[in-house]
Amino acid sequence: MKDRNQNESCEASGTDEKFMRQAIKQAKKAYALDETPIGCVIVHEGKVIGRGYNRRNTDKSPLAHAEITAIRKASRKIGDWRLEECTLYVTLEPCQMCAGAIIQARIPRVVVGCMNPKAGCAGSVLNLLHVERFNHQAELTTGVLEEECSGMMKQFFKELRARKKREKGKN
Ligand SMILES: [Zn+2]
């Protein structure tokens, strides 16, 4: 126990990468459905208790974001709407809805893969995780496996553009 604090910082990044890889695995499920590849896992006491990936088009729902699904599943698993002592890992910076849900769920720590300059609400457009006037703030770590996460997005949009171009050519 006495070495815990000493070890925590160097172990933290390895653990973060391990769980970010699981979030990437979720993002690939979205990719397989031609959805923007965004994935999320929620970890409690070293175990994944909720997983989610973007299904916005598949479910025809603006609420079908990776984080919302993962939060719903984690809450069901824990039997409480409060996800205290959990860490949320997400491949892309959360939007305003998801950052709001993170605060509502009292999640104390969020780990982000790559940023979303045009829509992110964990530091890009806004930082809803660090508003002091709210009753809860979440600790934030960004840039974990960033290249892998952003590479996945770039690949998806590149293919999408190519597909649109091909479809346009047909007409
Ligand atoms: Zn979202």
- Tell me: the pLDDT tens digits for 79-127? 999 999 999 999 999 999 999 999 999 999 999 999 999 999 999 999 9
Q: Are 123 and 137 spatial neighbours (Cβ–Cβ below 8 Å)? A: no
Catalytic residues: 67
What distance in angstroms lies between residue 140's CA and the mean position of ligand 1's atoms? 16
Which residue in 15, 8, 40 sits closest to 107, CA to CA?
A: 40
Q: 101: which 2 tokens?
A: 């849900």
This prediction's pTM: 0.91
> pLDDT band at residue 13, thresholds of 50, 70 and 90?
confident
What distance in angstroms lies between residue 53's CA and the mean position of ligand 1's atoms? 10
Q: 147: which 2 tokens?
A: 């290249």
What distance in angstroms lies between residue 166's CA and the mean position of ligand 1's atoms? 30
Per DSSP bridges, beta strands 39-44 and 86-92 are antiparallel
Residue 171 clears pLDDT 70, i.e. is over it: no
**What's residue 169's pLDDT?**
84
The model's pLDDT over 122-141, given as tens digits with 9 standing for 90+, comes to 999 999 999 999 999 999 99
What distance in angstroms lies between residue 47's CA and the mean position of ligand 1's atoms? 23
